[in-house]
Amino acid sequence: MLHNFGSGPAKLHKSVYEQLAQSLIDYEQTGLSILEVYHRTPLFEAILEEATQLCKELYQLDASKEVLFMPNGATWHFNLIAQNFIHNKAAYIHSGNWSKKAYDIALEYGKADIVASSENNHFKSIPVIEQDLSAYDYLHITSNNTDVGTQFHSYPNSSIPLIADMSSDIFSKPIDSNAFACIYAGAQKNIGIAGASLVIIDKDFLSKTHKHIPNYYQYNQWVNNKSIMNTPPIFAIYAMLVNMRWMKAMGGLEHMHAQAKEKAKLLYQTLDNSHLFEVYARKEDRSLMNVCFSMKETSLHNSFMHFAKEAGIIQIEGYRTVGGFRVSLYNAIELASVQHLCDVIAAFDHIPR
């Protein structure tokens, strides 16, 4: 049996795969594959409507929020956020590789500043803002850092619009959506498969959109066209719908959060009790989604990789600029797989050397 802890495209639950597989042959007994459903028919309108309503239900969104299903991943939104909303200058919190990419792209469209950074301690913690932000158009954060294994467990109490890239921890816990002007996420970790993205955006914030950029790049135009500016990634959006159905059936985001805490606690305790492994992030900022760690003796790295692979554990290589190991604990990862990994870590820890 394989235990895939990859950081994305990530594992989905078996029941989700089964429904997606059936839809490829015959979608809802229509005689059509989901791949040939036309996007301007009641069939796709029903998919989009249900997906929108499930997102609103899972996050308890009120009428002030719009939900968009868009193509591409989060990197596209690094561009769109800056294009749409930088008027004077934007503020970015730098907590790892992806926050830096978002900031660098923002500089292509206007002025932006890094207002807090944990670069001086190699991103082992979440940085804290210590300056007035009133001169900025918005504050951007990366809620979970897949490369270093840190996560915002509380969000900045911002006096300006707060925007979050939640690609790797969306749908993993309940949040106060009213704290955010915009949330965006690539689908391929906790939502569905690669090829689509989800945006939750405040209606009032939409009014701040630049009007001089092309329509295709304006979020308000995507709202006006109900997420259909061109042929959408229909199968990817359908995968998001089926996965949200599964999350709701499992007990919603409260259940996802409880499971995430249980899985992470088990793995972190195993690593902390080991004499061979060490966790990268400081304890109070450790991610529940991506556990990053390394060998205290780097010479044992390849030995453990081989040992883990022999035990059916795959895709635990660390991010390329960080090294070590990375175990992703997204919603569909079962507790039994985490327990198996912990048993393998403990067994490797006790091999006589």
Q: 137, 165, 169, 202: which one is catalytic?
A: 165
pLDDT tens for each residue of 179-194? 999 999 999 999 999 9
Catalytic-residue membership of 98? yes
Tell me the two tokens of residue 335: 């507790």
Pairing of strands 182-186, 196-202: antiparallel
Helices then strands, counting H and E runs in the chain, come out as 10, 14
Of the chain, the percentage scoring pLDDT greater than 70 comes to 100
Q: How many CB atoms lie within 10 A of CB 109?
A: 19
Q: 189, 222, 263, 285: which one is catalytic?
A: 189
Does residue 348 surpass a pLDDT of 90? yes
3-state secondary structure 180-222: CCEEEEECCCCCCCCCEEEEEEEHHHHCCCCCCCCHHHCHHHH
pLDDT tens for each residue of 50-86? 999 999 999 999 999 999 999 999 999 999 999 999 9
Q: 98, 147, 222, 285: which one is catalytic?
A: 98
Does residue 119 surpass a pLDDT of 80? yes
Domains and CATH numbers, the chain: 14-250 (3.40.640.10), 253-349 (3.90.1150.10)
How far is it, in rounded angstroms, from Cα 127 to Cα 116? Answer: 6
- For the segment 102-115, the average pLDDT, to the nearest whole number, is 98
How far is it, in rounded angstroms, from Cα 147 to Cα 220? Answer: 32
pLDDT tens for each residue of 194-213? 999 999 999 999 999 998 99
Catalytic-residue membership of 272? no
The helix (run of H) or strand (run of E) holding residue 141 is strand 139-142
Does residue 243 surpass a pLDDT of 90? yes
Residue type, 157: N
- Give the pTM: 0.96
DSSP 90: E
Phi, psi of 93 (to 5 degrees): -95, 125
- For the segment 260-273, the average pLDDT, to the nearest whole number, is 98
How far is it, in rounded angstroms, from Cα 39 to Cα 16? Answer: 22
